[in-house]
Amino acid sequence: MGSVDVQIEVGNAGAKVEPNIYGHFAEHLGRCIYGGIWVGENSSIPNDNGLRLDTVEALKQLELPVLRWPGGCFADNYHWRDGIGPRDKRPTRLNIWWHQGESNAFGTHEFMRFCRAIGTEPYLCANVGSGDPEEARSWLEYCNSTQVTSLTKERAANGDPEPFGVKHWGIGNENWGCGGSMTPEHYADLYRQFATYLDGCDRNAVLIACGGGQKWNERFLDGLKGYEHLVDAIAVHHYSGHGLPDVTYEDRQYYGLLTAVEAMNRHLEDAARVCRERSSERHQVKLIMDEWGTWYREATVESGLRQESTMADAIFAGLSFHMFHRHAADLVMTNMAQTVNVLQALVLTAGPKLCLTPTYWVYDLFKPHRAGQVAPTTVRGPSLTLGGRVIGLCSVSATVTGKEAAVSLVNADLESACEVRASFPGSSLAQVKSARVLTSANVRDHNTPESPDVIAPTALDVKIAEGALAVTLPACAVAMVEVVLSD
Ligand code: AHR
């Protein structure tokens, strides 16, 4: 058994974890929307006017702060007017990226209804690649304007007299690739044009630019010199686990996946540096990671990017959130890909059946971190050297809210439990509010719609020893301990 010494400096807690770091992403892809979220009113699967009820119930529990839609690559192939008005009159289009028909049954109003049902804030991504500034601007007017205009009257006639108040607007998606194969300079020109009209239409809209690697980000922001005020945030994407099998991976491949967290960290560091360099006292360009997660070899266009999600995904998610907390000063949102049935999903469905993935449970466990301030934390414990890199096998992240601290722990070791002693210099532990752990004997274990209860959190036994926290964390585990501190 490894022993781990943790020091949590609650007195020096710094940047706040923006709740939107726990955001999500749903695209018209495979069975994410159709089958996963929307089944239609005539389905035998229980639904509320077409919205799948078991999915709604599951996601409502997570209180996801924000949900990005309609893509992804689909966003630059989507024309929002196709998805409003009587459903039987909506056109069927070709979803060119995911090689499927698009009935447009699920459009803006259905998405807003879904967001209201699960208690999340909508984040829309406008079409730059095959759209124009007026199409994007009119979508914003349709959604947000409080004036009486033809568009807002149309919104009311379509069932929503009150504006949707959509705050976050992405201007294109991966415009270096599926969003138009643009150069950063060309995208910067288009971005200025789109952003000018969106900003004019709604000064409160948060405008989000498509980011990329360091060079793309630099060249894009060079192209925006003097117009940086039009960029509230740059959004980058980072997928991990390419080439690995979703379930039958070897232990060494699992440990290799953990090193991908460091690669994502470097991507964020580079992007954050560029954002900081181009920010001024008056206007800060913030950072978003609006697509991330695992992408295994089973997730192909043919499979609708469907893959299983095992405990490895939970460990990967836990470590990634710890890394995101370290970027809290710059990072204002992340959106894992994708919510239902696609990539590192929260929920998987098969016909009328549904299961919650281990990743779902990480979102659930980590809820107390939202809006807390990150406390500097030192962890001394067992590590592994892989490809010349040292990976700590036990990771701890702590956030402070008033007199309470949320301490999440990940034991990535597949063999050994670890004996953790966490102290809070300058404070002591008065009470343990709650303690839960997600673990399984085999890292490859996973829930399926047919066997949904293989993995779920259970109570974790923790003790207070001389004002510190003492806990034995099983191998292959993600845990959350909420504590109350005293001086
Ligand atoms: O999430 C799947 C796809 O990955 C998205 O559509 C695209 O933006 C990215 O390449």
**The domain spanning residue 459 has which CATH number?**
2.60.40.1180
The predicted structure's pLDDT at residue 2: 82
Residues 270 and 339 in one domain: yes
Helix, strand or coil, per DSSP, at residue 456: coil
The predicted structure's pLDDT at residue 386: 84
Residues 365 and 305 in one domain: yes
CB crowding 178-201: b at 16 or more within 10 Å, else e: bbbebebeebbebbbbbbebbbeb
For the record, the structure tokens of 188 come out as: 């910067």
For 392, the domain range is 2-10+374-486
- Helices 358-365 and 53-62, packing angle to 10 deg: 40
The predicted structure's pLDDT at residue 287: 98
Residues 453 and 358 in one domain: no
Best residue for ligand 1 mutational test, from 237, 301, 342 (most atoms within 8 Å of Cβ)? 237
CA distance 301 to 197: 35
CA distance 281 to 284: 7
Residue with CA at minimum distance from ligand 1 atom 9? 72
- Per-state percent for the chain, helix, strand, coil, to nearest 5: 30, 30, 40
The predicted structure's pLDDT at residue 389: 81
Residues 360 and 403 in one domain: no
CA distance 323 to 267: 12
For the record, the structure tokens of 257 come out as: 């996946």
Residues 365 and 379 in one domain: no
The residues facing 410 across adjacent strands are: 395, 478
Residues 328 and 385 in one domain: no
Helix, strand or coil, per DSSP, at residue 63: coil
Q: What is the mean pLDDT of each run of 10 residues along the chain (487 residues)?
A: 93 97 98 98 98 98 98 98 98 97 98 98 98 98 98 98 98 98 98 98 98 97 94 98 97 94 96 94 95 98 98 98 97 98 98 98 98 97 87 95 97 96 93 97 98 98 93 98 93
CA distance 242 to 298: 10
Neighbours of 401 (CB within 10 A): 17
Residues 362 and 415 in one domain: no
Q: Is the CB of 174 within 6 Å of ligand 1?
A: yes
Sign of the CA dihedral 366, 369, 370, 374? Answer: negative
For the record, the structure tokens of 157 come out as: 């006639």
Residues 46 and 176 in one domain: yes
Residue 324 belongs to what H/E stretch?
A: helix 311-326
Domain stops at, among 370, 396, 427:
370
The pTM assigned to this predicted structure is 0.98
Known catalytic residues are 174, 291
The predicted structure's pLDDT at residue 388: 82
Number of H helices, E strands in the chain: 9, 27
User: 298 with 249: CB under 8 angstroms?
Assistant: no
Q: Is the CB of 336 within 6 Å of ligand 1?
A: no
Residues 281 and 157 in one domain: yes
User: 194 with 127: CB under 8 angstroms?
Assistant: no
Q: Is the CB of 37 within 6 Å of ligand 1?
A: no
Residues 156 and 210 in one domain: yes
Residues 80 and 133 in one domain: yes
The predicted structure's pLDDT at residue 281: 87
Residues 325 and 337 in one domain: yes
The predicted structure's pLDDT at residue 428: 87
What is the CA(124)–ligand 1 centre distance, in A?
15
Q: Is the CB of 344 within 6 Å of ligand 1?
A: no
The predicted structure's pLDDT at residue 156: 98
Atom of ligand 1 minimally distant from the CA of 173: 8
